[in-house]
Amino acid sequence: MRGVRGRGLAGKLALAAVSLAFSLFACEAGVRLLARDSPSLLVADPLVGKRFLPGFEGRVFVPECGCDVELRFNRDGLRGPDRPHARPQGVRRVALVGDSMVAAVATAEERTLASLLERRLRVPQSAWSWEVMNAGVSSSSTGSELALYREVLAAYAPDLVVVVFWVGNDLADNSAELTSAPRLYFDVDAQDRLRQLPFAFEPHPLGEWLDRNSRFYVWQKSALRQARATLRAASPALEPVELVFARPEPAAVAHAWAITRALLRAFAQEASARGSELVLVAAPAPAQVYDDLWAELARRAARTGTPLAREHPDERLRELSRAAGIPFLPLAETFRARAPHRDSRREDEQLYYDGRFHWNDAGNALAAEAIHAFLSGLRASRAPVSAS
C-alpha cells in the first residue's frame, strides 16, 4: 500500500512539473509573440558594479522611445566602438562618464551626447583630432564611475574626464542608506576618509542565463518594477532620490552629500595623478526645468512637511567642486532657457522623453552644445581643450 501511495505521489509531482513547464513555455511564447521586451544588456561586475554586455551588437526595442535602436558595446562593455588603449598620434581623448543619461540607449548612437560632442570638438583646421568615449552605464553612481575610471578608463589615458552628475538620482545612488540596487557603494568615516563597501550582489548563474535567454523573465521583472513605481507615485511620501532638493538636509541626505564630496575629491586627485583633468557637469532633473513638475513635487513635499529648494543640488555641487578644484558646469539654466513655457507637456519644449525621463534627441543636442562651449572656454593652463 505504501508503494502504491508513493507511486501516486510521484505521478502527481511529475504531472505538476509538466504543467508548470508547459505554463512557463506558454508564457515565454506569449511574451515573445506579443511583447517587445529585449534581453537584459547589463551584467553585474564586482570591479565596477555594472557594465553593459561586452561585445554585444544588435537591434533592440527600447520602450522609452517606443522604437528599435541599433546598440553596440565594445570589449569593455561601453557603448560605441572598440578603441586601442594607446592613443594614436595627434588624438586627444575625452571620457564621458555617467549613468543611463549618458549611455542614452533610447537614442541612436550618432545622436547621443558623446557622439555630438565629438563632432563639435573636431573643428576643421584643428591641430588635434578628438575621440569622446561614451562611458555611461545604466544604474551607475559616482562611486561606480570612479571604479570604472580606475579599472577601465585609465588604460585609455584620457586627457579629460567629464563626470555627468544626474541630479535626478545620483546623490541617492551614492548612498547604501538611501538605495539598494546592485552597484558599488562607498562610505566615509568620522575623519571623512573614503572606503569602498564589499560588493554584495553576486549574480546567480541561473538568473544571468534567464536574463540573456528568457523574454518572459525579463518582462516579469520589468512589470514588477513598473508596478512598484506606480505604487510609489500614488504615495504622498517623497522618494529618496527626490530628497536631493531637501533643505535643510535630513541626516541620511547630508551623509550622502559627504560621500559624494569624498568621491569627487578622490576622482579629481586620481585623474590628476594620471595626467587627466576632471570636469563636473550637473545634468538637471526635469523638475528643475519644468514648472509643472516642480509644482507637483512641491505639493507632495508640503504634505510630508519637507522643505525643498530647486537650486539646492547645483549649489551643493558648486560648493563641492570649488573645494576640490574641479571646473563645474550646471545645465539647469541652459535647459530652462530652451523651454520658455516651462511646461513638460508641450512637445515643442520637451528635452526628455515624455517630458520627464532621459534626454531625447533635443536634450542630447543641447547638452553637447553647452558642454562644448564650456570646455572651449576653459583656460589653456587648466584644461587641454580649446575651440581650435
E-assigned strands of 232-383? 277-283, 328-330
% of the chain at pLDDT higher than 90: 72
Question: What local confidence, expressed as pLDDT, does residue 214 receive?
Answer: 58
Q: Which residue from 166, 164, 91 is spatially nearest to 132, judged by alpha carbons?
A: 91
Q: Which amino acid belongs to residue 4?
A: V
pLDDT tens per residue across span 89-119: 999 999 999 999 999 999 999 999 999 999 9
Q: Can you list the alpha helix ranges (DSSP code H) found in 154-250?
A: 170-173, 205-213, 215-234
pLDDT greater at residue 115 or residue 24: 115
pLDDT tens readout for residues 179-206: 998 899 999 998 999 999 999 776 555 5
Other beta carbons within 10 angstroms of residue 167's beta carbon come to 25
Does residue 127 register a pLDDT over 80? no
CA 318 to chain centre: 21
Per-residue pLDDT at 126:
75
CATH architecture of the domain formed by 38-377: 3-Layer(aba) Sandwich (3.40)
Quick: pLDDT tens for 217-227: 444 544 454 54
The pLDDT tens digits for 255-309 are 999 999 999 999 999 999 999 999 999 999 999 999 999 999 999 999 999 999 9
- Distance (Å, whole) CA 263 – CA 148: 13
The mean pLDDT value of the chain amounts to 86
Examine the pLDDT at 139 and tell me if it is beyond 70: yes
Q: Mapping DSSP to helix (H, G, I), strand (E, B) and coil, where does residue 2 land?
A: helix
Residue of 208 and 328 predicted with greater confidence: 328
Among candidate residues 159, 113, 107, 105, the one with its CA nearest the CA of residue 137: 105
Q: How many CB atoms lie within 10 A of CB 337?
A: 10
Selection from 1, 370, 324 nearest residue 142 by Cα = 324
Given the C-alpha cell 581650435, which residue does it identify? 388
DSSP assignment of 81-129: ----SSPPTTEEEEEEEESHHHH-TTS-GGGSHHHHHHHHH--TT-S-E
